[in-house]
Amino acid sequence: MRLANRRASSSSPVWWRSSLHLLAASLFSFSISLIPSPSVSLSESTIAQLRKQLKSGDITPADIIKDLHQGMEKVNESLGAYISYDVEAALKEAETADLSLPLGGIPIAVKDNINVKGQPCTCGSKFLDENYTAPYNATSIDLLRKGGAIPFGRANMDEFAMGSSTENSAFFPARNPWDLARVPGGSSGGSATAVGANIALAALGSDTGGSIRQPAAFCGNVGIKPTYGRVSRYGLVAFASSLDQIGPITKTVEDAALVLNHLCGHDARDSTSLKVEVPDFTSALGQDLKGLRIGIAKEHFIDGIHPGIREAVEKAVKQMESLGATIVDISLPHTDIGIATYYILAPAEASANLARFDGVRYGHRAEVPADVENDKRLLYHYQKTRSEGFGPEVKRRILLGTYVLSSGYYDAYYVKAQKARTLVRRDFTEAFEKVDLVVSPTTPVPPFKIGAFRDDPLSLYLEDLFTIPANLAGLPAISVPCGMIQHEGVELPVGLHLTAKPLDEVTVLRAAHAYEQATEWHKRRAPGV
Ligand code: GLN
């Protein structure tokens, strides 16, 4: 194991920070309470455990839903995990649950940007507040239901999935169950909080630059972003269409495989959906790591990473080596341009995707005073609706995206970013000639205090350093708990990040499961919940 040496050979400590500030400068300056313990037991279980109890008839789906609901009623106000939930609808669905199905009678929370017919879908935005009820199901919801699952609860999120802390929710922030003064990560922070606090068995999230994996790491959960195109995006409210993927946040790797089995598959309604076989992801579980080559990139072990995170990840890599893996030094030389590339491409796509929120078709609609002249009414309506409906981060992204797409700047920013994306992708293609997996920390820093980055959005963007490349390259990646660190007087979870080549979720899950089973980290539950 040569990880310790990498510290000395790391490149400039601040290159990732400076590259981002350069980007910003070159564009324009833009502007505890303790959780009451819900004395529950079913909700503390994993899906795999509950399946057995359901099949034997010891419990019913309604028992699980009632147990979860009891917990939600007790702690959701302090945690902000759910924007809404409808226990009656879930109980009604439970009456006809087919327990012979793999997920028969298992309730699953859903991020509030994935459409479930008849339920709200706020996207964490006032724009879609009480004015929008989903008229159709996302394909992922249809597939989950086909597997027997029951969608239960709309999980809190950063507005339109833009953020890393869930502080950008237009309703209330979600809180980290390990320390209520801290963020649970984002943008799928409500999903991760709910799973971490045992008020969801599992939850769907969406991941454009890290939004499944980073909150999973912050809350001590497992979170997997599948290969781009594995899971249909139909019915997921689009943020950046070339990057968005739906995936599960769960308590264990086995549960992640179980849920993933019922999310994937070709869908003619999503033109980027892949026409490929879907393996049984649970078949990857229970194997050791013999013969597996794990790549450690020097660009991932730089100064600026919290020392406790570095130590936990180094230990995890050693453990994987002791389980039979071979550790290989690799280089991903374009890691440093990942964030800057993403923060051009994602806002560009967002500015186009969010144009549909115009006050005519969906959600919020501003009043136009009678004295506004006829020829100005349309523009007035559009401007006022969008000014009122979107929060500050969404406005920032739309402005940024519109700017990089505007004539005169398109080549300098958007086209250049597309070229940079190719370089990031190529790094991985070359690396995967030598290794089967790339392992790194999921995040450079532990969960931070709510409000810590309120006036510094650029520093918050740095959170995505290790997760964004998998989105840019369309690769499957997982975060799995790999330690606890003492930080500012509290104990906080650390995530290990594993990335594989396209469509190789099986290897990601196999390695994460072998590591998980050899450690106890996934058994740790947040205090007081
Ligand atoms: N934190 C990143 C952003 O703010 C990623 C968000 C996501 O994956 N949805 O854009």
Closest CA to 205 of 150, 268, 259, 253: 259
- Residue 399 belongs to what H/E stretch? helix 392-405
- Name the β-bridge partners of 114: 236
Residue 302 confidence class, pLDDT cut points 50, 70, 90: confident
Q: What percent of the chain has pLDDT over 90?
A: 87
Q: What domain range includes position 277? A: 42-333+441-523
User: Are the C-beta atoms of 219 and 211 separated by less than 8 Å?
Assistant: no
CATH number where 69 lies = 3.90.1300.10
Cα of 111 to ligand 1 centre, how many Å?
14
Boundary of a domain, candidates 361, 388, 423: 423
Let me know whether 115 and 177 are in one domain: yes
- How many structural domains are present in the chain? 2
The string of pLDDT tens digits covering residues 452-505 is: 998 898 888 888 999 999 999 999 999 999 999 999 999 999 999 999 999 999
Boundary of a domain, candidates 396, 423, 450: 423
Mean pLDDT score, 177-189: 98
User: Are the C-beta atoms of 157 and 112 separated by less than 8 Å?
Assistant: yes
Let me know whether 356 and 286 are in one domain: no
Residues with a CB atom less than 6 Å from ligand 1: 161-164, 187, 207-211, 239, 346, 464
Residue 362 confidence class, pLDDT cut points 50, 70, 90: confident
Cα of 162 to ligand 1 centre, how many Å?
5
Let me know whether 276 and 372 are in one domain: no
Residue pointed to by tokens 């990942």? 338
Question: Ligand 1: which of 211, 344, 349, 353 to mutate, most ligand atoms within 8 Å of CB?
Answer: 211
Closest atom of ligand 1 to CA, residue 211? 8
Q: Which of 187, 188, 206, 273 is catalytic?
A: 187
> Under 8 Å CB-to-CB from 24, ≥6 apart: which residues?
30, 458
Please provide the average confidence, as pLDDT, over all residues in the chain.
Answer: 92
Mean pLDDT score, 97-106: 97
Instruction: Give the total residue count for the chain.
Output: 529
Let me know whether 93 and 201 are in one domain: yes
Residue 39 confidence class, pLDDT cut points 50, 70, 90: very low
- Give catalytic status of residue 395 as yes or no: no
The string of pLDDT tens digits covering residues 202-235 is: 999 999 999 999 999 999 999 999 999 999 999 9
Domain assignment present for 37:
no
Cα of 215 to ligand 1 centre, how many Å?
11
Domain assignment present for 35:
no
The string of pLDDT tens digits covering residues 119-166 is: 999 999 999 987 789 999 999 999 999 999 999 999 999 999 999 999
Mean pLDDT score, 179-189: 98
Let me know whether 342 and 411 are in one domain: yes
Residues 245-264 as b/e (b if ≥16 CB within 10 A, e otherwise) read: bbbbbbbbbbbbbbbbbbbb
The string of pLDDT tens digits covering residues 398-452 is: 999 999 999 999 999 999 999 999 999 999 999 999 999 999 999 999 999 999 9
The string of pLDDT tens digits covering residues 237-277 is: 999 999 999 999 999 999 999 999 999 999 999 999 999 99
